[in-house]
Structure formats: C-alpha cells, structure tokens
Amino acid sequence: MCKSFASLEENIGYTFKQKSLLRQALTHSSYANENRNLPFNERLEFLGDAVLSLITADLLYGKFPDMPEGQLTKLRSALVCTASLSGYARQISLGDFLLLGKGEDANGGRRRNSNLENAFEALIAAIYLDGGFASARKFVIPFLENSVETHQIRFKDYKTKLQEIVQESHEETLNYVVVKESGPDHDKRYEVEVHLNSNVIGKGTGKSKKQAEQEAAKQALQLMGL
C-alpha cells in the first residue's frame, strides 16, 4: 500500500501546485494497465533524464574548472547511473509511494532499482514542469553534492594529482610553459611542457591551454608510473 503523497512532499521539501504531475510521476505502467486511461511515468522519465543531465553537467562544469571533458563525462555517468539514482530514491523512501500493479507490487517492485531510478527521474520532470528549472535544480543538487564527495577522489584531474605529489616535497617547483601555438583563431592548437624545477617531465597538446596542460600532467603521471 503506497503512502500519502503529502508525506512525500514533506520528504522532498516541495509542494506541488499540480498534484496530477506528482501522481503521474509515481504511476508505474503496471498500475496504469490495471486502471484504464491513467497516465504513467515513462514520458516524465524521458524529460527528467534530460533535466538531470543538464543539472549534473552544469554542477560539474562549475565545480571542476580544470577537469578535462573525458573525466567530467565519467564522473557525470557515475552520479546518474542506475545504482546512484535508485540510491537517491531510497533516501526519500520513494518506493513507498509508487503506484504499482498488484503483480509488480507482490514481486518486489517497490525495491526494484529500475523502478526507483525511473520514478526518481520522473519526479525531477514533474517538479520541473510544476515549478520550473530552479525548483528542479534545488531538489537535485543535494543528492549530487553528497555523491560527488564520494566519487571525486577517483576522478581528480591530472593537474591536481600531479600538484599534490609535488607538494609533498617543499623544494620542488612545478611550472607549465606554452612552447608552441599554431592554427587560426577558430582552431588553435597549443603545445605545453610541464617543468619540475628545470626538468621537462611531460608534454601535451590541446585545443586550449588548459587541455594541453592536462595532457602534459597526464604524461608526467604516466612516466611516474601513476
């Protein structure tokens, strides 16, 4: 038996103006099949996935200004994978509020990761449609912030990793030097060397100075066996 939707609104700190959106977000297709003409949450899930992706990308882009695109993509994937999303859903006891068909409910549907993930994304979309992007972002950010703290150690950018290693010795000085700049303004290429004291320990190229510096730091770490 699902709990009162008012309890869920209290859990998430958001009160819906359009209660029908909340109900739809929590309605599984199995329940809709048993109760004709009811909208269920698949379309909202589609929209919520896109809203969540934008919120996550925006957060990471601002939080990690030196992290390369590949690392940002990996971290975003970790934050919004099925295990993470179903975990966020459990934090607000979302499974207790799902509207499920009798068979789905009897077979553990309230605990199923896929159901929890889908409902969480649908809930994001419902908040977005009801209260706008700012409301959806306010709801999502605390989950992501907490999860970033768990995952970011594995996803530190190369420059940060190299800097931390060098800082262990106060006598060492790390410096990035642009040694070549080529190409037209709309398609620049930079070549950068990273120097440890006066020694070149890595080289990198990229479409921006930051990207080239990251590649140089990456090569330096590889030469160190890290």
Token pair of 92 as six digits? 């607000």
Catalytic residue among 9, 34, 49, 105: 49
DSSP state of 200: E
**How far is it, in rounded angstroms, from Cα 59 to Cα 187?**
27
104 as an active site residue: the answer is no
Question: How far is C-alpha 86 from the chain's CA centre?
Answer: 14
Token pair of 44 as six digits? 């909202």
Catalytic residue among 121, 130, 157, 213: 121
**How far is it, in rounded angstroms, from Cα 194 to Cα 159?**
10
Is 118 flagged in the annotation as binding? Answer: yes
Token pair of 207 as six digits? 């479409």
DSSP state of 226: -
69 as an active site residue: the answer is no
Within the chain, where are the H helices?
5-12, 19-25, 29-34, 42-63, 69-79, 82-91, 102-106, 113-131, 133-151, 158-167, 209-223
Is 213 flagged in the annotation as binding? Answer: no
Is 45 flagged in the annotation as binding? Answer: yes
The full length of the chain comes to: 226
**How far is it, in rounded angstroms, from Cα 78 to Cα 57?**
12
Count Cβ neighbours within 10 Å for each residue of 168-178 and write b for 16 or more, e otherwise: eeeeeebebee
Residues making up the binding site for Mg(2+): 45, 118, 121
Residues making up the binding site: 45, 118, 121
- Kindly list the catalytic residues: 49, 121
